[in-house]
Amino acid sequence: MRVVFMGTPDFAVPTLEALIEKHEVVGVVTQPDKRKGRGKAMAFSPVKEKALEHEIPVYQPVKVREEAFVQVLRELDPEVIVVAAFGQILPESILNMPKYGCINVHASLLPKYRGAAPIQWSVIDGEKETGVTIMYMEKGLDTGDMIEHVVVPIDAKETGESLHDKLAVAGGPLLLDVLAKLENGTAVRTPQNDADSCYAKMLTKDLGKIDWNKDAAAIERLIRGLNSWPSAYTAFHDKTLKIWDADVEEESSDAQPGTVVKVTPDALYVQTGKNLLKLNEVQIQGKKRMPVKAFLLGHKVEIGTLLGQDNENNR
């Protein structure tokens, strides 16, 4: 099958690799190069790097809806367009172009978690499972008819990063199965129930600011869901303290939420709105991630220390 692939980040790479092995990928469309790092050097997207590795033509339109690029797609004459975390909305001129349509590899069990960050929100919200859904694309945001899905369990200590990697790998085999069904005419369209949907809004750094008035379980899920970006954080004196790993302790004190109520050689116990949160791994501003045991060697933390009260502009 002649395929045009549209994708940008790491999540899309395993799907592209699966396509390359089984189909004729006649072009890859990805977002324009961006400046990254302290040196602000131009960087290719992970999808572009993989396409160039296989000598596949790469296209990077600023806007895919521009007629000049739409004409490029017409000349490529794809039988299907596969989209995985591309980053732009496709116009009807593209959606209606391929013989088998445009299909999307989406990292949730639709109709739940439509939108930009379904992986992280499934962890933050405490879901027990998620998955990958292959669907037909239409004008709405992740609203098209579903074709197939695969379920992926969410482990008790799952992070946004670890779940991202699981789902990225799961998408490729599922897509190949769907393409085979499209070719032989056995693909089934299942409309989504809009009443069962929710919007997984885009992640921002501000989302990571810990509200100690929330219960320990909710904070612990936030920490895992935002690991590795943008990360959950609080304030420790005049610096930002990122928290990378924590556990819920089924006990409480009368202290104000955000107060350190117990210090052991390898952990800090903080009162929340309900129960204690045991901090295991942290990162003080300007330093690398470290176990709390190492953090305590260089920082004096006393019982009664109140977190989250200082300068939040140091992030």
Class of the 205-306 domain?
alpha beta
What letter represents residue 92's amino acid?
A: E
Condensed to tens digits (0 to 9), the pLDDT of residues 253-302 reads: 999 999 999 999 999 999 999 999 999 999 999 999 999 999 999 999 99
Dihedral pair phi/psi, residue 261, rounded to 5°: -110, -10
Tell me the HSE value of 145 on the side-chain side, using a 13 A CA sphere: 8
Sign, Cα dihedral of 189, 96, 18, 120: negative
The beta-strand segments (E) located in the chain are 2-7, 24-29, 34-36, 41-43, 58-59, 80-84, 102-106, 114-115, 129-136, 146-153, 199-200, 232-236, 239-249, 260-264, 267-271, 276-284, 290-291
Indicate the pLDDT class of residue 312, thresholds 50, 70 and 90. very low
The most distant pair of C-alpha atoms in the chain lies apart, rounded to whole Å, by 69
pLDDT of the residue at 146: 98
Provide DSSP, 136-161. E--SSSS-SPEEEEEEEE--TT--HH
Structure tokens at 215: 């219960």
Q: Can you give the residue ranges of every domain in the chain?
A: 2-200, 205-306
Residue-wise pLDDT tens digits, 157-179: 999 999 999 999 999 999 999 99
Q: Is 269:302 a contact under the CB 8 Å cutoff?
A: no
Q: Which residues contact 264 (CB under 8 A, 6 or more apart)?
A: none
Kindly give the interhelix angle for 160-184 and 13-22, rounded to the nearest 10 degrees. 30
> 101 near 137, Cβ under 8 Å?
yes
CB 45 within 8 A of CB 8: yes
Residue with the two structure tokens 């396509």: 19
Cβ neighbours, 10 Å, residue 163: 24
Q: Does residue 68 have a pLDDT over 70?
A: yes
User: Which amino acid does the sequence have at 127?
Assistant: E
Determine if residue 73 is labeled as part of a ligand binding site. Answer: no
pTM score: 0.94
- On the question of pLDDT at 313 being above 60, the answer is no
CB 58 within 8 Å of CB 45: no
Report the half-sphere exposure of 278 (CA within 13 A, side-chain side).
11
CATH of 2-200, one of 3.40.50.620, 3.40.720.10, 3.40.50.170, 3.30.360.10: 3.40.50.170
Q: What is the pLDDT of residue 36?
A: 82
197 annotated ligand-binding residue: no
- Cα 210 from Cα 257, distance rounded (Å): 11
110 is in an annotated binding site: yes
Buried b (16+ CB within 10 A) or exposed e, 67-81: eebbebbeebebbbb
| pLDDT of 38 above 80 | no
> 40 pLDDT band (50/70/90 cuts)?
confident
Is 111 annotated among the ligand-binding residues?
A: yes
Given this model, what pLDDT does residue 310 score? Answer: 58
pLDDT digit string, tens, across residues 92-117: 999 999 999 999 999 999 999 999 99
Average pLDDT over residues 188-195: 96
Q: Is 4 left (phi over 0), alpha (psi -120 to 50) or beta?
A: beta
Average pLDDT, the chain: 96
**How does pLDDT run across 206-252, given as a tens digit for each residue?**
999 999 999 999 999 999 999 999 999 999 999 999 999 999 999 99
pLDDT in tens, 114-142: 999 999 999 999 999 999 999 999 998 99
Tokens of 272: 């929340």
The pLDDT assigned to 136 comes to 98
